[in-house]
Every structure is written in C-alpha cells, then in structure tokens.
Chains A and B, each alone.
Chain A
Amino acid sequence: AQKVTQAQTEISVVEKEDVTLDCVYETRDTTYYLFWYKQPPSGELVFLIRRNSFDEQNEISGRYSWNFQKSTSSFNFTITASQVVDSAVYFCALSEATGGGNKLTFGTGTQLKVEL
C-alpha cells in the first residue's frame, strides 16, 4: 500500500529564511507520481507541482524548488527567502500509475508559519 510521511508537523521561520519541507513516500509501483499542494488559511487546496517517478531532475519555480531522490524515496520542497504569504499547510501526495484509479494518498501536512 502507498504511504506518504511528512514528519514535520509545524515549522516556524522568520521572513527571508529558507525552509525545507520533508516528504518521504512508500510505494511498490515503479511508476508513480508525486505532488505538492498548498492550503493557505483561506482553506482552498492549491496545486504546486507534479513529478513522475522517471524524472529525477530537480525543479525550480521562482522561490520554490523541489528535490526528488528515488534512492531515499523523498520529494522535499524548499522555499527560498520565505515570505509571510507562504504561511500555509503544505501537503505532499502520491498517486500510483497502475490500479490506483488516480487515488491521491496525502501526507499529514506541514504547517508553515512565516513571521516578520
């Protein structure tokens, strides 16, 4: 069965600090997809990134970057120069390519608080 672990329940940083959110996953499939979603205080779920298991290249989008390492089954998310608007709960999620019906399995989320 697939599983996603986000060991950091809550992280507090001061604005402009860099912060990394950890995500470790378990799956028996060789083909799978990993996602990050952001849930700001307003409550909606905002898609950030989708990465398939064959693409281990790191990705950067503005202040956001993602480090995918199959060897350690991790898909970590770094925010550079954090801002107060980054305060949110961040969810990592996994979808298996076969037989899963595109079921997203979510981690328990990491609450990020960015303070002035």
Chain B
Amino acid sequence: DTAVSQTPKYLVTQMGNDKSIKCEQNLGHDTMYWYKQDSKKFLKIMFSYNNKELIINETVPNRFSPKSPDKAHLNLHINSLELGDSAVYFCASSRGQGPDTQYFGPGTRLTVL
C-alpha cells in the first residue's frame, strides 16, 4: 500500500486556469505538508497542516490555497496559474508537528503553458 499518494502525477494546463492536486496518507500521521521543487531541484516548504489546522504558511502567493478536509488529506488548489508555477509539487506527512521524519509522496509535475 502506498503510504503517501498524490494525484495526478502529471498536470499540463494553460495560464490562467485553476487546478487542484490531491494528497492522501495512510500512515495515521497528524501533520501534512506541501513542498515545491523548482527546475533547479531546489525544495522549499509551502504549507504545513496539523490535524486540519494551518501551522506553516511560507510567503506563498494567495493564489495557492491548501485545504485539509481531514488529517489524512491535504489538497492544494491553485488559482490563475502562471508560467512560474511550473514545478514538481510534493506532499509529505509526519507523525506530529515536532521534528519527526517526513515521508514524501511521488510528486506532481505541473506544467503551465
């Protein structure tokens, strides 16, 4: 069974569109994250949720809105997509909001044309 899963794996869309990426974890973890990996492979945290509560919001444009319907899911909705949003987006989860190991999903490659 996949521990952290993301859908879709690939997403190609036009500028200006709105899109969502879904993430689910079956590890029973309380904390989930979104990271962005740019074209140079640099990884940076975007958001963190603990038990559906926003913990970290790292200077991300408000076009990005995370939503956590329950502690096993953390979705990322992006409005008015821009060329610079093209990247690989990784979801991760950890047991708690302390410095526990984060386990990553397979990533979603978003391409904005």
Residues of A within 8 A of B (CB): 32-33, 35, 37, 39, 43-47, 50, 52, 89, 91, 95-97, 100-104, 106, 108-109
Question: CB-CB < 8 A to A46: which residues of B?
Answer: 104
How many residues on B have C-beta within 8 angstroms of the other chain's C-beta atoms?
Answer: 30
Q: Is B106 touching A102 in the complex (CB atoms < 8 A)? A: no
* B31 CB–A CB distance under 8 Å: yes
Secondary structure type dominating chain A contacts: strand
Q: Give the Cβ gap from A39 to chain B, nearest Cβ, in Å.
A: 8
Residues of B within 8 A of A (CB): 31, 33, 35, 40-45, 48, 55-56, 58, 88, 90, 92, 94, 96-107, 109
Q: Is B41 touching A108 in the complex (CB atoms < 8 A)? A: yes
Q: Give the Cβ gap from A33 to chain B, nearest Cβ, in Å.
A: 4
A103 to B33, CA, bound (A): 9
Q: Give the Cβ gap from A30 to chain B, nearest Cβ, in Å.
A: 13
Q: Give the Cβ gap from B103 to chain A, nearest Cβ, in Å.
A: 6
